[in-house]
Structures are given as C-alpha cells and as structure tokens.
Amino acid sequence: MLHALLAPLFLCVGTETHPALHPSNADLYIEVNDVQALLKAYEKAPVVQLMNDPAIGKIADVAKEAGVDLRTMMQGLLPVPDASRPDDRFWPWSNAIAASFSLSGYKSVATGTSEQAQHGGGVIALDFKDTAAATQALAAIGASGGMMRVAIEGEEPFKIEARELPIQRFQLSTLEAWFVQDAARIIGGLGAVTPAELAQRLAHPETSFASKRALAIDESGFKTACGTTLLRAWSDLDRMPFVNAPGDKQVEQSLIETFLPGFLPFVGQKGRLRMQLCGDRFVTESLVERIGSAKQLDDLYGSGDIPLKTARMVPAEAVGAWVMKIQPAQFEALLETTLTRTSSKAAVAVDDTRPKISAAVGESVAMFMLPLSINSLNSEAGMIPPVVLAAELKDGAAFKVALDAWIERVRLADPTLKVENKPYHKLPMYTFTLSGAPDEGGDTGGGFGAGLTDSLRPTLTILPDRILLAPNRKTAQAEVRRTETEQTEVHEIAREGAIPKGAFEASTMDWGLAVGKLYDAGRGLLPMLLQGREQPVDVSSLPSASQLFRFFKPSRSYSKRVDGKTYIYNESSIGPEVPAALALMSTGMSSSQRSAAPVAPTSGPEVSAPKKPEAVPEPAAELEATVRNMRHVRTGLVIYKSQFKRVPATLAELTKPTDSFPNGFIEGGELPTDGWGRAFVYSARENGAKFDLRSMGPNGVDDQGSGDDVSLP
C-alpha cells in the first residue's frame, strides 16, 4: 500500500513530549499525533484508491506488451520486505506512532542596512511502537540516498537524563545530519543544529517550543473538525529556507517574489495551520498574517466581494480558475519597482507624470488554464501551459495610451525587447518577444526578460470590456474567438454561491480533467507509435481518462480577512503524499531499504574524519544523459517506422523533414549524443524491420554491446 511507503516522509508528526525537543524560536514547527490513525484514514485517499484500482493493472499489461515492465519498475522503487516480516513490506515505518519536525535559523534578520538569511537547521523526532523498529529505521535512514556514515574523533556521547547515547553522524553532499536513538525514539539534527544545543534545550525547557505549542494546536477560527487530523503546524517563516545563505546577494523584490509565498504553505506566513483527511478530501485551513516579502500581498489584494461578471470571464471548459479583487495602483507601483531595479540604465527612473495603466482598469481579475492537449503544447507554446489572464477594463483608449508609454520605458530598460502590434479581428494585439528568448540567429539576450523560457511570447489583447494576457499569440487568438461566440454554459466558479461572501480571492483546479486530456491524447497516439511490432499491442483495453481519474474531484480554495489576519481554506483530492512520492522517487530513497533482514545500527560505509566530513561524490550524470538521449532517439525511430514501414538506414534520416513531421522525427531537430559527447552506434537489420542502438560507454570503444557499452533494455 502506497500510503505506508510514505510514512518515513511524515517526519512531521508530534506528541505531547516532542515540543521540548524543538527551539522556542522555531521558524516552522509541524506535528501529527497519531500516525497509525493517519495510515488507516489514508485507505480512502484518492491516490491510494488509484494505485489499488484494476485500471492501473490494465495500463501495466499494455506497457509490458510494448516492452516496458512498469510493475518491475515500481517494485524497484519500493522497499524489499524484511525476511522476518513477509506480510509487512513497509516495516519499520508501518510501526511509527508519532514524530515532529522543526526548522530554525532561516528567518531573515536585520544586519545594518541589508538583510541576509541566517544559516539554519532542523530537528526531527520520530517515535515507534518498539525499540526494534526504531533500530531498523535508524539504520535505513543512515543507508538512504547515498548517505555516508562519518566518525568525529573524540566526540562524547549524547546525554539525556541518566543515559548516554552514541551519536551517529551522516553526510549527504553538503547536508550534515546526526541521530541518536533513545529506546523506541529517534532524535536527529540537520544543518547547524548540534547535539550540544539540543542537550542545553532539554536542560532548560523554557527555551523549547513547549512554551508555544498552544499556538500550534489552537483550532479556534477553523471549521468544525471533519475527519482525521494529518498535521498541525506553526509558521513564522518569512522566506524560502535554503535559498539565501550568508553572503548571498539579496534577491530583488519582484512580482514573482511577492506572489510565490501565496502558493506555498508556511512561507511568508506567521500563524497556524491544520490539515485533515475528511473522507477522500484533504481539507487545509490556516489563520495567518503575512510577513517578509509576502506583506505586499495584503496591499495588492483588494477588498469587497468578487463581481460575478469577473468570474464569468472564465470559460466553461477551463480546467483551472483563479479570481481575485486587486488594487491596480499597487500592482502598477510594484511593476515600476521591478522595472527600475532590473534596469541598469539611468534613463529608466520612477516617472510619476506618465499615463497610468491602473486608472484605466477595474479592481478584479480572473486567471484561468485551458485544457492541456498535445496540440496545446506545440512548437510555439513549448511546455508553457495555456494560461490566460483577464482583467476588467474601464477605459480602453486610456489603457492603450498608458500601455504604449510603458512599452517605451521597458525598451529603455531592455533595447532587445521586440513588440509586434498587429491587430486581430480589429482588436489591438501586442506580442512581446522577451530578451531571454533566442532571436533569429539563435542568440539570447541578458536583459529584462532573461531567464524566461524560449517559447514564452506574451500577447496582450484589448477588448471592449477586458484585457487578455496570453502566453503566445495563438492562445490569444483562440480566446478572442471564444469571446465572440455566445456562451450558454458558465464555469463552476461563476455559479451563484461558488465564491464565499467576503472572499477576496478564490480558485478551483480540476487536475483529473487536466491530466486526463493529455492521457487520452497519448492513448490515441499509441497505435501509431506501436505500428510494425511483431506482436500487436491491444491499446483498446486501456481505461479512459474518466475511469482512471474518477477518484479525483476539483480542488477549491478561498481567502478571507478575519480580525486583521488572513483565513485560507483549501479542499483537494491531492494531499502531501503526491509531492512526497515524487520526491521519494527522485531521490531513490526507498532503494536504500533493500536489506533482507534487520540491519545493525553500525552497518553501512564508515569513514573517519578528525573535524569535517568530506562531501560524498555526486552520482555520475553521463549514464543518465546517455539513457535519456537514447530513449529520444528510439522514440524517433519508432515514429519513423510507423510512417515508412521500416527504420532508417542512418540516424541522420531522422532529422529530415516530411509533410507530416516538418521538424523531422527528433525533438529539437538535431541528433543527441551520449553522455560523453559521442555519437550513438546504430545499424538497421532484417531489411529495416529491426535496429540496434547503443553507446560505446565511458571508454569510447565499441565492444559490440558488451564491456561498458550502454544499451536500452
């Protein structure tokens, strides 16, 4: 069961005694009191229902027919069961009962005229039902993700009450960690947190988070409890941790820096949070005040109810929508600040005499994402999702004058900016080519738009009642055509009562529908991609998107102001297990737990270092790049064969355009090399019915598929 696999990631759990282990000045404190109740409740979580659904088995069957063994791949991600517990694959994590987690030292502090983030760290505490489970868990932690056990010469044991506990130290790249085991409890420190600091806190409980725990568990102002509490949290974190280390250049204030905390839990917030699993829905509530850069959010958001006419700017087919009240003058001031700070030209200074965009627009906006499809992710849009912003317009003529003035000022900041003013359906339509995108010669600039994706071509259209901002001209044109057609249906967010009274922002997102569109498109392409196989693959047995994603309901959220604070409510089918599972897969954490029997606490590689442990070498990237690029080539070969009933004589033929594939059969139009920069070894055989493809590997010698040659399975 997938939920049990995620138990080690729930080091954000807590009991009555845990707060004494954490500092009173914690920037973030998270706890859950009953892991066992959490795991039982997770049986109803949509992702668990999906993983247990027979439809997943059908996908695995078809994939195996096509030569991809998904079951074996997934088995490789899961831990191997303990030989003494064959019926409990996830032991010892299934034996966990409570834990807690905190971060401290990451909050910005005043340092004269500037700010910098202190070097911080974290504390972890995890309780198990018995000592044996704790012992196994500590051994698994030490072996996970390539951690290297480190010995510090002359280090004294950790003393707690009358007990002396050995300290086990580990190093993963630049991350330093230490752990001690006290019977069925594991206590650990990350980063700058030292055993001496923890011992001092235990000796002086008044310096611990125990004095503040009442804040974290206070549920006043929240809705009535509806299910199993997954976690409670207290945050005083004004910016992303791990981003700014001492001496780093302070990140300039910008729209992105201001709005990012609004999409992240805990960041830019001082207050408390509760997450529950209510049936098959995750319900998260928080009551916070904005801090740090996020303070400006309070100035940018407006007040009063969101007009229904703004919500009705969202098309009925949109898979996601976000509507809000704004203060246009504050938005324009932030744009002005961003422009003047990113420009190195003295000519671009604050100009209070120019025409104001804010005077011509309304006080509410809508943002929506249209359905994803293979066509929507085309060569023009790249991987930019079709997201459109619509803003109320009070005076179109005044807006156009102010916009033209803004464009001239931005050009002073970035002379490479290109603006095409080409009307569409007699409506003004501006398309911007940012300096971060390549010009006709393929060079990139380094000015105002540097760092944005090459495929982003923002397009702004002025309609009689609104402004539309789309990621590219094609999306903008499609949206203009939609507004010219009479709409008989409205989006869910535009229905009466969908937005709570007093909410200054509200959103909804249907991830099942969004991903389902891509899934159905991919399922439709499979017959073409699998043409010419000796054994036909029955893709008709694959489940439809509506069947596969039936467990996932649209998420919804809104924010209100309550007694000078912000109340945020979110209800979703997707819980913390989804990003946790992705993180688990990316780090290969579970692969470290493949011991057939309990591992002794002292197992694993150990090195001695008198002072500072040496960093562990990163895994070689060459092999990963080789496999990735070889897969791209293989995909091109399969598509080529579906068109010509044979594979090409040489790989160069994959780059030649055809009527159906004007960019050739290789993404980007150029043949990739292996991770060592060498061309792949390729040959067609059996009159083009089959092919051989491999890399010569690290030594650059073709061993005919043996030796260190690299081939795909």
- pLDDT 10s digits, 205-214: 899 998 888 8
Contact status, residue 419 vs residue 407, Cβ threshold 8 Å: yes
As a whole number, the mean pLDDT across the chain is 78
Which whole-number Å values give the CA distances from 428 to 461, 466, 467, 620, 649, in the listed order?
Answer: 6, 12, 10, 52, 51
CB-count burial class (<10 Å; 0-12, 13-18, 19+) for 333? middle
- Report the run of H or E that residue 4 belongs to, with start and end: helix 2-5
> Strand locations in 209-293, DSSP E?
228-237, 269-278, 281-290
Distance of CA 168 to the CA centre of its chain: 32
Distance of CA 620 to the CA centre of its chain: 24
> Binning pLDDT at 50, 70 and 90, where does residue 410 land?
confident
Could you tell me whether strands 606-609 and 148-152 are parallel, antiparallel, or unpaired per DSSP bridges? parallel
pLDDT of the residue at 479: 93
**8-36 residues labelled b (16+ CB within 10 A) or e (exposed):** bbbbbbbbeebbbbbbbebbbbbbbbbbe
Q: Does residue 427 have a pLDDT over 80?
A: yes
- In the chain, DSSP finds a helix count (H) and a strand count (E) of 18, 28
Choices 3.40.225.10, 2.40.390.10, 3.60.9.10, 3.30.700.10: CATH for 621-711 = 3.30.700.10
What is the C-alpha to C-alpha distance for residues 350 and 372, in angstroms, rounded to an integer? 40
pLDDT of the residue at 569: 95
Quickly list H helices, 317-395.
328-342
What is the C-alpha to C-alpha distance for residues 101 and 131, in angstroms, rounded to an integer? 20
Listed in order, the ranges of the chain carrying CATH 3.30.700.10 are 621-711
Overall size of the chain counted in residues: 713
Q: What are phi and psi of 558, to 5 degrees?
A: -160, 165
Which of 208-212, 398-402, 582-586, 623-627 is the least confident region?
582-586
How many C-beta atoms lie closer than 10 Å to residue 367's C-beta?
Answer: 19
Per residue in 352-404, pLDDT tens? 677 889 999 999 999 999 887 655 544 444 456 789 999 999 999 999 999 99
CA dihedral over 633, 638, 640, 645, signed as positive or negative: positive
Residue with more model confidence, 314 or 345? 314
**378-408 residues labelled b (16+ CB within 10 A) or e (exposed):** eeebeebbbbbbbbbbeebebbbbbbebbee
pLDDT of the residue at 146: 59
pLDDT of the residue at 147: 63
> Binning pLDDT at 50, 70 and 90, where does residue 26 land?
very high
Per residue in 118-149, pLDDT tens? 468 999 999 999 999 999 888 887 766 556 67
pLDDT of the residue at 309: 93
pLDDT of the residue at 635: 78
Q: Does residue 571 have a pLDDT over 60?
A: yes
pTM of the predicted model as reported, rounded to 2 decimal places: 0.73
